[in-house]
Amino acid sequence: MTATATVTATTAAQQPVLSLRDVRVGSRHRREVRDIVRGVNLDVLPGEKVGVVGESGSGKTLTMLSMLRLLPRPLEVLGGEIFFENRNITDLDERGMQSVRGGGVAMVYQDPMTSLNPLLRVRTQLVETLRAHGAGKAAAHERTREVLGQVGFVDPERVAAAFPHELSGGMVQRVMIAMAISTSPRLLVADEPTTALDVTIQQQILDLVDSLQARTAMAVVWVSHDLGVIARLVDRVCVMYAGRVVESAPTVQLFDRPTHPYSRALLGSLPGPEVEHRAQLTQIGGSPPDPTMLQAGCPFRARCPYAFERCAEEEPPLLDRGHGSFAACWREPDTWS
């Protein structure tokens, strides 16, 4: 059974807050169409925490940006449908997208220092966001003080009056999180929000978002290349490779018994507590392919130790592995040897 065939059964009891159906992202060059994201299917249930992982260039961020229609040119959504709260937002005009973008769905980006306008005070930018989503002036100022306190600032007024350059990287990221939650979104997308921060601040930011999710019950999509971080944060993991989801599974299930060779290789490259200092880590041989120049068959086959003839002929769909797991691999894990 393919993953698509299970969608109705999975969502009959609870409708997803976000649903991507066969979403393709790429560019058009004259008569040539080049796909980078290739038919992504993804459901996020209300209050669920989902991790999207994979190497750089796998299409994680582009998939999220396509949902908010924030793709950099010349990239565009080439096909598929996107539903938010059971509403098809694929063809919404810009005015319609404004109610979704920053309202129903909020996003926290990788580099906090480039996310705020350096010429405007923090208060001005937070109030502007709230006013754009219908808040009155007095309510917007009150909400600004409230959310800055919620993200851990002991002196919200001082932070609100500051310019971005007067704050540290970790403080700016907290401001960005405050801005994201200020409109009480039903879905928060955290796109590697700790990339530019030092290790101690990284953990504070991860704990902050996790605690906010627990208090507000909003759904969260964590985008990361770090499976070690994802393991602590999410209920379910989607592994992306060469522009598509190659495995989707509950977190415990994926870490205990991965059903795609790429997922297994990623887990094998993680250091564990029992690994001696300076012990050699497992490496994944070769390099990820260019999604716009793929040949027939499975894109991972050149790096896969379990590839056989069919892998070069036909790219596998997501196949049901049981217990909520799906993997795009012709081989059952029991046959890996």
Terminal-to-terminal C-alpha distance of the chain? 24
pLDDT > 90: percent of the chain: 70
Structure tokens at 269: 């490259």
CB 206 within 8 A of CB 220: no
Per-residue confidence band for 277, with pLDDT thresholds at 50, 70 and 90:
low
pLDDT recorded at residue 280: 66
CB 112 within 8 A of CB 196: yes
pLDDT recorded at residue 272: 66
Residue-averaged pLDDT of the chain: 90
pLDDT > 70: percent of the chain: 93
Domain chopping of the chain, boundaries: 4-104+183-271+289-335
- 1 vs 207 pLDDT, higher one: 207
Tracing tokens 């961020």 back to the chain, one arrives at 61
Structure tokens at 215: 């208090």
pLDDT recorded at residue 315: 96
Per-residue confidence band for 9, with pLDDT thresholds at 50, 70 and 90:
very low
pLDDT recorded at residue 279: 58
| CB burial string 85-113: b at 16+ within 10 A, e below | beeebbebeeeebeebbbbbbbbbbbbbe
pLDDT recorded at residue 95: 86
Q: 33-49 pLDDT, tens per residue? A: 999 999 999 999 999 99
Tracing tokens 């990287």 back to the chain, one arrives at 169
Per-residue confidence band for 85, with pLDDT thresholds at 50, 70 and 90:
very high
d(CA 101, CA 90): 13
**Residue 39, number of CB atoms within 10 A of its CB:** 18
CB 24 within 8 A of CB 39: yes
In this predicted structure, the answer to whether residue 8 has a pLDDT above a threshold of 50 is no
Q: Pick 4-104+183-271+289-335's CATH classification: 2.70.50.30, 3.30.750.24, 1.20.120.1200, 3.40.50.300.
A: 3.40.50.300
Q: 293-308 pLDDT, tens per residue? A: 999 999 999 999 999 9
pLDDT recorded at residue 274: 59
Structure tokens at 38: 């290739």
pLDDT recorded at residue 122: 97
In this predicted structure, the answer to whether residue 4 has a pLDDT above a threshold of 70 is no
Per-residue confidence band for 5, with pLDDT thresholds at 50, 70 and 90:
very low
**Residue 20, number of CB atoms within 10 A of its CB:** 23
Q: 61-71 pLDDT, tens per residue? A: 999 999 999 99
Record the pTM: 0.90
Point out the least confidently predicted range of 7-21, 68-82, 85-99, 120-134.
7-21
In this predicted structure, the answer to whether residue 7 has a pLDDT above a threshold of 70 is no
Phi, psi of 221 (to 5 degrees): -110, 115
- Residue of 250, 275, 248 whose CA lies nearest to 263: 248
Q: What is the 3-state secondary structure (H, E, C) of the chain?
A: CECHHHHHHHHCCCCCCEEEEEEEEEEEECCEEEEEEEEEEEEECCCCEEEEECCCCCCHHHHHHHHHCCCCCCCEEEEEEEEECCEECCCCCHHHHHHHECCCEEEECCCHHHCCCCCCCHHHHHHHHHHHCCCCHHHHHHHHHHHHHHCCCCCHHHHHHCCHHHCCHHHHHHHHHHHHHCCCCCEEEEECCCCCCCHHHHHHHHHHHHHHHHHHCCEEEEEECCHHHHHHHCCEEEEEECCEEEEEEEHHHHHHCCCCHHHHHHHHCCCCCCCCCCCCCCCCCCCCCCHHHCCCCCCCHHHCCCCCHHHHCCCCCCEEEECCEEECCCCCHHHCC
Contacts of 313 by beta carbon, 8 Å cutoff, 6+ apart = 296, 297
pLDDT (mean) for 311-330: 95
Structure tokens at 133: 């989503």
Q: 112-158 pLDDT, tens per residue? A: 778 899 999 999 999 999 999 989 999 999 999 999 999 999 999 99
In this predicted structure, the answer to whether residue 324 has a pLDDT above a threshold of 80 is yes
- 99 vs 6 pLDDT, higher one: 99
pLDDT (mean) for 92-113: 87
CB 254 within 8 A of CB 237: yes
